[in-house]
Structure 1
Amino acid sequence: MPEPIIRRAGPGDAEALAEIGARTFTETFGHLYPPQDLARFLDEAYGLERTRRDLADPAKAGWIVEAGGEVVGYAQAGPCGLPHPEVTPACGELKRFYLLKAWQNGGLGRRLFAETMDWLTAGGPRDVWIGVWSENDGAQRFYGRHGFTKVGEYGFAVGSTVDREFILRKSAVNFSTRPADEAALEHNLA
């Protein structure tokens, strides 16, 4: 497999980002929903206009993972929009974080995660939030290894289906107590 690269997404990446978003969501969760509900959700959440708006928003950022000229994953981050009473305007959120299945479990996720978290905390430590499907045990373990803990739940609607989502948070305190040399070592090992 070619060595993947991770880069910040720009306005010219809107089509590629919309396509990989819909593709990875379908690969991961498509089997859970009626086809008409899935199609409507993909159009709303991953449509080209929505993607362009997200890329144009200076409070948000996106990353694309490419290998051999193919987009194989992506991440998006920005202000936290999760329904939790402790969310403040200062909070950040890892909004989307996906790799195609063929590219998972090889260290690429750690690299993409580090890039995203570096951006989210560039202005200093702050609470970072993530919403994760209650049955996605692998993602929950990954985030747990990175200091996130479950602090709530909510219903995530895709058409008539409402999934149970966990709300995870990494407190700003956990960022500020982490030695800088440990963070550099982890980034280099990923």
Structure 2
Amino acid sequence: MTTTIRRANLDDAPALAELGATTFIEAFGQLYSPEDLQAFLEESHSVAAYAKVLANADYALWIAERGGRAIGYAQAGPSGLPHADVRPGDGELKRLYLLKGEQNGGVGRALFEQALAWLERDGPRMLWISVWSENLGAQRFYGRHGFEYAGEYEFIVGEQRDREFIYRRHPRAA
């Protein structure tokens, strides 16, 4: 079956909420208490949360589908990472998730490329990404694409504080 990647719209908010919650649980669900996980999902992966982002022109989301089923997504927008070098106008790949069974097949790379092209649509600029400190595969992937370690912070889910790495890529010549 062919995989399609397209820009998400407001009608995709329910599918993105389900996909976002599912992929977050697959990747990180074991780290949190059920109460903390549920509260985080209700705040960050609700239909309303995705609808709010989709309605904001400063952000963009892409959805990957195969056989009429959402299998992955990417979200990009202005950088909000807690790093002293983040400046207005910097961009951030905020989320890049695939269902566990869909990883390592090129869809993640295609979503990544779509998001970065959108972030640099007006020309090169500083790009930022945060990644869980123990996600070595993602760190290697971002490193292969010119991102370098720039610092770390605590990603908070309820009572849990996770060590999150910040990566950046300096503007490339046009």
TM-score of the superposed pair, with normalisation by structure 2: 0.98
Counterpart of 1:148, as a letter, is F
Counterpart of 1:17, as a letter, is L
Match of 1:180 in 2: none
Alpha-carbon separation, structure 2, partners of 1:80 and 1:170:
12
Does residue 48 of structure 2 align to residue 49 of structure 1?
yes
Summarize the alignment of residues 111-126 of structure 1 with structure 2, pairs less than 5 Å apart: 111-126=110-125
Q: CA deviation at 1:42?
A: 0.5
Q: CA deviation at 1:141?
A: 0.4
Fraction of identical pairs, as percent = 56
Match of 2:163 in 1: 164
Q: CA deviation at 1:58?
A: 0.3
Match of 2:25 in 1: 26
Match of 1:69 in 2: 68
Alpha-carbon separation, structure 1, partners of 2:41 and 2:140:
26
Secondary structure of 1:150's counterpart equals strand
Match of 1:133 in 2: 132
Structure 1 ranges of 4+ moved more than 3 A: none
Give the aligned length. 174
Match of 2:35 in 1: 36
Alpha-carbon separation, structure 2, partners of 1:59 and 1:88:
15
The CA RMSD over aligned residues, in Å, is 0.8
| Structure in which a larger fraction of residues adopt helix | 1
Range 41-50 or range 57-66, more displaced = 41-50
Counterpart of 2:7, as a letter, is R
Match of 1:176 in 2: 173
Alpha-carbon separation, structure 2, partners of 1:89 and 1:46:
26
Alpha-carbon separation, structure 2, partners of 1:139 and 1:106:
14
Alpha-carbon separation, structure 2, partners of 1:27 and 1:153:
23
Q: CA deviation at 1:92?
A: 0.3
Counterpart of 1:31, as a letter, is Q
Q: CA deviation at 1:112?
A: 1.1
Please list the CA deviations of residues 53-112 of structure 1 after superposition, one character each: whole Å capped at 9, or x if unmatched: 100000000000100011000000000000001101110000000011111111111111
Q: CA deviation at 1:176?
A: 1.3
Give unpaired runs (5+ residues) of structure 2: none
